[in-house]
Amino acid sequence: MVTGLAWDERCMWHDTGLYFGPQEGSPWIEPIESPENAQGKRRIKNLLDASGLTAHLSMIEIEPASETDILMVHTPEYLAEVKRVSESGGGNLARRLGTTRIGLGGLDIALLAAGGALSAVGAVLDGIVENAYALVRPPGHHAEPDEAMGFCVFGNAALAGMYALTKHDIDRIAFVDWDVHHGNGTQAVFWEDPRALTISI
């Protein structure tokens, strides 16, 4: 069995800024580094390298997602908002909770992360690997069609699923979201689509 790994160090450059928790910008709460930072994912990659497991993986080159790809699950208005914030120096994207920030040029990194999911699924469906993991950030299971949420800019998993359905003629897909939080964004994209089953554990 050949397992693929979609990885690009540039995804680790995603700038989430300082984090205040639910009291965004409160003068009474000291900001901390965002919990969604590069440290955890770099640790995973370093462990794969140090243990020798990387040598047993097939590295998948990531192609950034295109705007057309993004529009498979997100609204044009939301994509325009991500562009505006990215080009104006960065800032908060989330309308609720204020937990999703990008820095200057953050759109490019978010497109790279989304492209990691697409590249991983494409490698599996093209028969290059039997399974794959996209070790990318920003993450993507909370992003809804029209807004960022929970550190997620684009719906990476939903994009990968829609890519499989539309570009590879797959009839049905299932998402098993194994995380502490409900994958609300993926569910929202496929809420009325009978071709997809979403499960959050």
CATH number at 115 reads 3.40.800.20
Residue range 79-94: mean pLDDT, rounded: 93
pLDDT attached to residue 21: 61
Structural domain boundaries enclosing 120: 3-170
Residue range 124-143: mean pLDDT, rounded: 97
Higher pLDDT, 83 or 25: 83
Name the helix (H) or strand (E) containing 120. Answer: helix 106-125
**Tens of pLDDT, residues 157-171:** 999 999 999 999 899
176 is a domain residue: no
pLDDT attached to residue 25: 58
CB atoms under 10 Å from CB of 175, counted, come to: 19
Residue range 22-30: mean pLDDT, rounded: 65
55 is a domain residue: yes
45 is a domain residue: yes
Looking at this protein, which amino acid is placed at residue 15? D
> What tokens were used for 65?
């997602």
96 is a domain residue: yes
Q: What backbone phi and psi angles, to 5 degrees, belong to 163?
A: -60, -45
182 is a domain residue: no
31 pLDDT tier (thresholds 50, 70, 90): confident
177 is a domain residue: no
190 is a domain residue: no
Task: Please state, rounded to an integer, the average pLDDT across all residues of the chain.
Answer: 93
Q: Sign of dihedral through CA atoms 192, 159, 147, 177? A: positive
Residue range 97-103: mean pLDDT, rounded: 82
Q: Greatest CA span in the chain, whole angstroms?
A: 54
> What tokens were used for 3?
């397992």
pLDDT attached to residue 172: 97
d(CA 98, CA 159): 23
The residues annotated as belonging to the active site are 142
pLDDT attached to residue 94: 79
181 is a domain residue: no
> What tokens were used for 135?
């070790």
26 pLDDT tier (thresholds 50, 70, 90): low
In total, how many domains does the chain have? 1
35: preceding bond cis by omega (within 30 degrees): no
Instruction: Quote the Cα angle for 128-200-149, to 5°.
Output: 90
Residue range 123-131: mean pLDDT, rounded: 98
